[in-house]
Amino acid sequence: MHDNISFVEKCLSSQEVFSGRLLHVFKDTVRLPDGSESTREYIKHPGAAVVIPYCGDRRILMIRQYRYPVGQTLLELPAGKIDGQDSPDATIKRELAEETGYRPGIIIPIGLIHTCVGYSSERLYLYWAEQLQYAPLTADDDENIVTLEVPITDAMQMVYAGQITDAKTLIGLFWAEKIINRQALLGQAKL
């Protein structure tokens, strides 16, 4: 097997071709391993965090919200983008509070997800949260979000039936099922 080095595409020049409120799009000229040049277009992303909020009794807290890019209301795990110099830990506590009103007693990192390796630099940190306490915020209610407690077996049935399609949520639910059934252990993650 080749090692990492032989595959590397070297950046020759980088240009920001769109700078928006949310998206920052770059077009780089790169040197390929065979010596030729090509271009790479991608989104430079600040990173994000997603959480499996465990309610106990084999139940997961999920949210339902409208997603404009796909034109659908989707059932998801709470998640959000990292702001400024925030840590993934701080991000997931903030997003969980803003989106559901719950504060976790414990958060445990599970792993790192590269959301979209073809065209985004996004690194998405997956967490487990438990000992949830309800302490709703009054502000930041501009997202139209509904919160639901879903038994893990019901969530998995929705996965098999094609009723849950969001990538980060699929990964989180497969992990959640293993953790709840004690087929995978928490606390060994390297983030």
Site for a copy of itself in 150-169 (CB under 8 A): 159-160, 162, 165-168
Query: Footprint of a copy of itself on residues 114-143 (CB under 8 A)?
Result: 114-124, 142
User: Which CB sits closer to a copy of itself, 86 or 103?
Assistant: 86
For a copy of itself, the binding residue among 12, 23, 106, 137 (CB under 8 A) is: 23
Q: CA gyration radius for the chain? A: 19
φ/ψ (deg, to 5) at 140: 60, 45
Strand arrangement, sheet containing 37-43: 10-19, 24-31, 37-43
Is residue 74 a contact residue for a copy of itself (CB under 8 A)?
yes
For a copy of itself, the binding residue among 21, 56, 105, 187 (CB under 8 A) is: 21
**18-22 long-range contacts, Cβ below 8 Å, gap at least 24?**
none
Q: How far is the CB of 40 from a copy of itself (least distance, A)?
A: 4
For residue 90, what are its two tokens?
């701080």
Q: How far is the CB of 104 from a copy of itself (least distance, A)?
A: 22
Question: What is the C-alpha separation between 53 and 189, in angstroms, rounded?
Answer: 17
Stretch that binds a copy of itself, among 54-62, 72-80, 83-91, 93-101 (CB under 8 A): 72-80
Query: Footprint of a copy of itself on residues 30-59 (CB under 8 A)?
Result: 30, 32-33, 39-43, 48
Helix (H/G/I), strand (E/B), else coil: 100: helix
Using the structure block, give the residue that is written with the tokens 């709470």.
Answer: 78
Q: Are 28 and 15 in contact (CB under 8 A)?
A: yes
Stretch that binds a copy of itself, among 62-70, 85-93, 100-108, 131-139 (CB under 8 A): 62-70
